[in-house]
Amino acid sequence: MRFERRRTRAGLAAAAALPLVVSALALGAQSATADQPGGRQLLSGTKPAWATAHADKGATADSSRLTLRVYLAGRDAKGLAAYAQAVSDPKSSLYAHYLTAGQTQARFGATKAQIAAVTAWLKSSGLKVTASNQHYVTVTGDVAAAEKAFGTQLHNYTSDGKTYHAPTTTASAPASLNGAVLTVTGLDNAPKKATHDDTLPPPGAAFVNAGPFSSYYGSNTNRSLPSAFGIQAPYAIKGYTGEQLRAAYGAGKYTGKGVTVAITDAYASPTIAGDAATYAGRNGDKNYKKGQLTQVLPGDYNSTEDCDASGWYGEETLDVEAVHAVAPDANIVYVAGASCNDDDLLDALNKVVDHHLADIVSNSWGDIEEHETPDIAAAYDQVFLSGAVQGIGFYFSSGDNGDNVASSGKKQVDTPGNSPWATSVGGTSLAVGKHDSYQFETGWGTEKGVLSADGKSWNTPAYTSGAGGGTSSLYGQPFYQRGVVPNALSQANGGSAKMRVEPDIAAVADPNTGFLVGQTQTFLDGSVKYGEYRIGGTSLAAPVIAGVQALTTQARHGIPIGFANPLIYSLYGTSAYHDVTDHPFGPQTLSEVRVDFANGENASDGTITSLRVLGRDASLAATRGYDDVTGVGTPTSHYVDVFGRH
């Protein structure tokens, strides 16, 4: 999965005294100011770890063409990080003293002189400038020109059975630029594509849930199928609605009025306006007011086949409908990336920050950490920091593959939620009972056992999916996790260094206790029409938390939460959170019965009956206190009011 900010004022002297979080941006800035032999400044992280001598297959042809993006460091990267922390920390005198977008650019952004100097250097190396703005300069040219510009050689390397080109040494820029270059992307061409984090169904072909269903958790318990763990398991719900989610997470009287939530994904669903309106009308949500749902789209799209463009339509649909269900009066602005590639998704995030389109940004996409090179991490951190000083908070789904061992062969977290400057949202299995009452949650981790051929037992359940989480290998422990995250987690990678752990907070994600969405789909008979189905994934958890934060912003009389993690952790252990565990009723194992159409749409090819076991997330476990499945927990009925007082 490759997936995949804030508002401030003055007083930097006070902020500078605060302990800084280790970030890729800060590390990149430090290395970029260190003079190297020949008057060069290293651009940290531009040589990928997989470009080893053993994998080296020789020089890349000088005539090969490249497209590179040179990101600008701006002014005072350390000051930007210090100010971002100060305005985000409730203990700071500068808390919530946000800057405007214009003030942020004037104080920390690249100057015209820096942009001109970087542009002149790139042109002098034989590269052609094709685009330029306050964040980066895009160039094209052959390998020889790129090698001249960045003081390195490009070779071909084998990685995961394929061949890619990459620098043989860390790239560099002239020392005379005085650290104006943050990093460069494109010197290696290994795939870095975001994937959306929803779990079934693919949004192109139609998907229809088979019954029987429960209307709320436990309302319809099967009586004829085998028992599971000593009890008869209930049928899966048809799909929770906004009314049930609002009740479960303590919306109360708040509706998100006066607040705007931005959603970023790749591409854009051509039927989103009609689908969202139809869904709201059918499921008891408020009708959309004129202008309440808007879109900011790029001039053109690219990589549509590589990224499976239509596959992203369902992601946008889920995100929009989930935010509106939880915060029905909040404005929603959808900002589309031109592709699922990092540079295009960064463009979408930068649009939110540059124009301050929203105070809350939901992002249900990401990738595994080993695919995130430090150069890309630095570019993301710069966006998050620039947003933080404006009061903009970024929420990322933590992933749908648990510890990622089954999907990648290695225990690791997802990005960009691994950044200390982003809020990582984990997932749960949620039980909403009769009269919309909150019953319990477990960590989301599903094992599936199909009904035996004779119908007398369940086959041995096997792991299918679960909320992402774990310990970063890239980022050190941020200040707000100190004293909350157990050492056993922060030091899980070995050694004495404490590292960033995901997630920070959680909400419903299990597709078996998921959310009902409505979307235009293509059915088996070739018809294209609106249909509804249950869906989950941390793709659901992220917009649900974004919606809850919109309610909280309203409770704060419109004062943005900004980068939320310092406040989230400062209230750890209070009545604001459900402390979610995998066994809310002691040793009893919980499960549900789910019936699916074999062809995904109707009973013509039969049905498949299976048992879905809850609270079984790979090697991760939801335990008492902070854990790497649900973070500090999920919002309670007190969450909005507690956050509203801070």
SS3 419: coil
Give pLDDT, residue 159: 86
The set of residues, in sequence order, having a beta carbon less than 8 Å from that of 456 and lying 6+ positions away, is 226
Give pLDDT, residue 431: 98
Give pLDDT, residue 16: 30
Q: Is the pLDDT of residue 445 over 50?
A: yes
Give pLDDT, residue 196: 74
Q: Is the pLDDT of residue 194 over 90?
A: no
Give the C-alpha separation, 79 to 20, whole Å. Answer: 10
Average pLDDT over residues 44-52: 90
Q: How confident is the model at residue 4 (pLDDT cuts 50, 70, 90)?
A: very low
- Cα four-point dihedral sign 346, 347, 349, 354: positive
Q: Is the pLDDT of residue 400 over 60?
A: yes
Q: Are 335 and 320 in contact (CB under 8 A)?
A: no
Lowest mean per-residue pLDDT among 43-47, 136-140, 635-639: 43-47
SS3 480: helix
Q: Are 19 and 479 in contact (CB under 8 A)?
A: yes
Give pLDDT, residue 44: 87
Higher per-residue pLDDT: 12 or 640: 640
The whole-chain average pLDDT of the chain stands at 92
SS3 56: strand
The set of residues, in sequence order, having a beta carbon less than 8 Å from that of 351 and lying 6+ positions away, is 296, 335, 357
Q: Is the pLDDT of residue 21 over 50?
A: no
Q: How confident is the model at residue 195 (pLDDT cuts 50, 70, 90)?
A: confident
Give pLDDT, residue 66: 97
Q: Is the pLDDT of residue 361 over 60?
A: yes
Higher per-residue pLDDT: 19 or 206: 206
Give pLDDT, residue 22: 40
Give pLDDT, residue 38: 63
pTM for the whole thing?
0.93
Segment 305-356, tens digit of pLDDT: 999 898 899 999 999 999 999 999 999 999 999 999 999 999 999 999 999 9
The percentage of residues in the chain with a pLDDT greater than 70, rounded to a whole number, is 93
**Bridge partners of 447?**
463, 613
Q: How confident is the model at residue 503 (pLDDT cuts 50, 70, 90)?
A: very high
Average pLDDT over residues 38-49: 89
Give pLDDT, residue 200: 37
Give the C-alpha separation, 553 to 561, whole Å. Answer: 6
Average pLDDT over residues 261-289: 97
Give the C-alpha separation, 190 to 628, whole Å. Answer: 29
Segment 82-135, tens digit of pLDDT: 999 999 999 999 999 999 999 999 999 999 999 999 999 999 999 999 999 999
Q: How far is CA 579 from CA 239, 502, 516, 584, in A?
A: 24, 16, 25, 10
